[in-house]
Structure 1
Amino acid sequence: MSAVVVVGTQWGDEGKGKIVDLLTKYADLIVRFQGGNNAGHTLVVDGNTFIFHLIPSGILYEDKLCLIGNGVVLDPSVLIGELEELKSKGLEITPQRLKISYNTHLIMPYHRALDHAREAAKSKGKKIGTTGRGIGPCYEDKIVRCGIKIGDLMDPELFREKLKENVEAKNFILEKQFGAQKISFDEILREYERYREILSPYVDNCSFIIDEALKNGKNVLFEGAQGTQLDIDHGTYPFVTSSNTVAGGACTGAGIGPSRIDKVIGVCKAYTTRVGGGPFPTELFDEVGDRMQVRGGEFGATTGRKRRCGWLDGVVLKDAVRLNGIDGLAITKLDVLSGFNPLKVCTKYKGRSGTWEYMPGTIREVESLVPEYTEFNGWDEDISGIDSIDGLPVQCQDYIKAIEDLSGVPVEIVSVGPGREQTIVLKNPFD
């Protein structure tokens, strides 16, 4: 029996979906514990590409149980769309294969309306870069205790009562503060009554299911979304998401105690990317960054937005190791760096008030940072077909070793391409 958490070590888009899909082979339960459909996990299996926004990445294994935990904010229309798309590809997801915690909060149409209105009202340079999916406003309602859980949706009278109160309050803000169009109570009620009929068989007590599985010697895999530097408490605030993306979020977002976690795997892209606004110390604005973006296919799986690209940020990586208690690293997209010479890794920052070996706590200091780099020899070989660590070019092996030395954590998985088979597993975290 083991419980393993997979988290991102950067600003998201590290390739967590592929690593979760790979490790699902050894797990019995796969649990998504935070975030919403602002995250997109891309999997390539047998030449077919799948993009999941809410359904855990382990769903492609037909003998596994996937859970959506209470820490997730759920847009029912998106989830139903994913279920329908999988069905069209011959994968019908029954309630025996997917469960939703009854404590999961629902994204409502007024959340999306508020998200768009607030971002539009911000001046240039202060925009967060929100996806407009209503994630933040939904988490906001959860915190101020006026949110609507999927368990509430199962109670028609309670749902109607809570919806009426919220629509009145949100319409006041939309109309008076932002001059935006009001939303219709009746339309939302009819829409969500349909969602109730479809989703009610999937609603369950996920905390209890996880606990029973661990008691019975099952392996549980916890899947996080986004990355450490997007954590609401520990990221580059305010340019962050609205949930705790670090490993500790698996406990609150799934309903288990911290002593039940056995191992944390941090997924680290071989270089660094970021989508949307916010500071990015190692960002490249030259031909090297453009080539990295094209070779890596760096477009957001959710938004299609071009990802900003830069060299590997070792300061960000070390912060992630400390904040998550990372036991092992999974390095992804190493193949993208073939042909780049030299390679650079940031080891510290110079800021307006001195040298930093961790991310400063104030946004103005963060925005002043200039990275200090260590250079490494690159390699020219195509490594996408190599299936052993010893088969990699020496310079490639040296780069991996440098990441281990800098982070203080062993590299246990190396991805050399998008396919499930294009992965070198040095150590199985469930062993």
Structure 2
Amino acid sequence: MTTTARPGDRRRPHVPRDPVEDHTLRMAQARREVLAEHTGVVPRHVTGHTFDPAVLKGNIENFIGVAQVPIGLAGPLRVNGEHARGDFLVPLATTEGTLVASYNRGMRLLTESGGVTTTVVEESMQRGPVFSFADARQARDFGGWVEEHFEDIRRAAEATTRHGRLLGIGQYQVGPLRYLRFNYATGDAAGQNLTGRATRAACEWIRTACPGGPAYLLSGNVDTDKKHSQINTLLTRGRRVVAEAVLDRHALRELMGVEAAELYRWRQVTMTGAALAGAAGNGAHAANGLAALFIATGQDVADVAESHASFSYTRLLDSGDYYWSITLPALIVATRGGGTGLPTQRECLELLGCLGDGKAGRLAEICAATVLAGEVSLAAAVVGDDWVDAHERLGRNRA
């Protein structure tokens, strides 16, 4: 355990660490004691967990306990997907009152209207290095060299991974800089670490094989990791998933108290508002459902920054029913690796039948269907003027 303070630094607290066995109850308690001594607050609730801290290696450093986020259940949600088929009960981890109730209401409407059809359109994960040259012509010629040597670059990248496949390399030039966007299929992993390792190996091969040994940075920010971007919207990051349904007009009136024509007029107004604001899409609140699902199932919650971009497309049908689709162009989910194997998160994935190999497409479709349920429910609440009343009734913790 290392707790040595620097000379003359008596008041500065130092977090205890053990270089050999740091993920233990003993070390967690030692850190909590330092925390209590420094702040005067004795942490009690964070200690309440049921697993051995040893399972956390690779997931967290300086472990002291857990953040207990309540989990609610919404559904059943009927999904008619290529990977997810059936009625699902969806665990949502949140502290926002009304969220589970709202999604539950949307799921009921979708299910009674025949369910949600889901489609994974394409998938790719990126790492975006940048190569630097003395002038623009050298950078341009380098781009041609990369195209000529793609197969060699692919072999260097794929030698580092069992699951990743290099699909292609996009190229973008600014002055003497040549930005490359390596696009990978990553199986059931989210793939940020996989693509980083593979692209570094590829760039080292390029630096060695290319005349002049061009200098590079592994990330030139064109991969837009954990940031929304227009390039992700157009070219996909993670999975591009569509969830669509035809809302039965009778169920819409009975369950939501609104007419299809009212919803359509609302869509016209909000489409204009989203464009005016320069929003990341024209959807209402995809981040709500995605964040709750991500926390419950062990996804990297920061990926909501990319995943929440959403585009609604609707039609008022001649029958009087209402077609509604939501497209998520940058949905990043995993069913292996990261936090998906931790005890709580593993259980939630098991509840959805989404744990392990071959299940990432299934989870992506459930996520998209859940987002659509939230869009439908919130829209009906706004149009029907139930939104504020619902939050007053269910969403205010006055404790």
More helix by share: 2
- Higher Cα radius of gyration: 2
Taking structure 2 as the reference length, the TM-score comes to: 0.22
* TM-score after normalising by structure 1: 0.21
